[in-house]
Amino acid sequence: MPKMHIKGLILQIISDNTMEESEKGIWDYEIAKQVLKEYELDGAYAMGSVRLALTDLYSGALIETKEEKLDNGEHFGKGKVLFKYSLTSFGEERMIDAGII
């Protein structure tokens, strides 16, 4: 059985972490770790690909940022901006339309 496309998986991961009101959202590096594990990928190129997909989903208004902070060098590189994402109502509608949830 083929795996879901990366953007669909990202939306599922964000959706799973948007439902809990107390910790609404998930950090981009946490999303990247889950995607890389699922697809058995590794390295900076794969991490960058996940960040690019997140940017695309953000620009399409499917996800939104809840918080930002600077990377201390642990995730994508020292001084890079990290984002905490959550699903928008439009994103949830699109997931339902696409049969992802």
Beta strand 81-87 with 26-27 is antiparallel
pTM across the whole model: 0.89
pLDDT of residue 18: 75
Q: What is the pLDDT along the chain (101 residues), one digit of tens a residue?
A: 457 889 999 999 999 987 655 568 999 999 999 999 999 999 999 999 999 999 999 999 999 999 999 999 999 999 999 999 999 999 999 999 988 88
For tokens 């959550």, name the residue.
Answer: 86
pLDDT of residue 1: 44
d(CA 56, CA 63): 9
Phi, psi of 29 (to 5 degrees): -70, -30
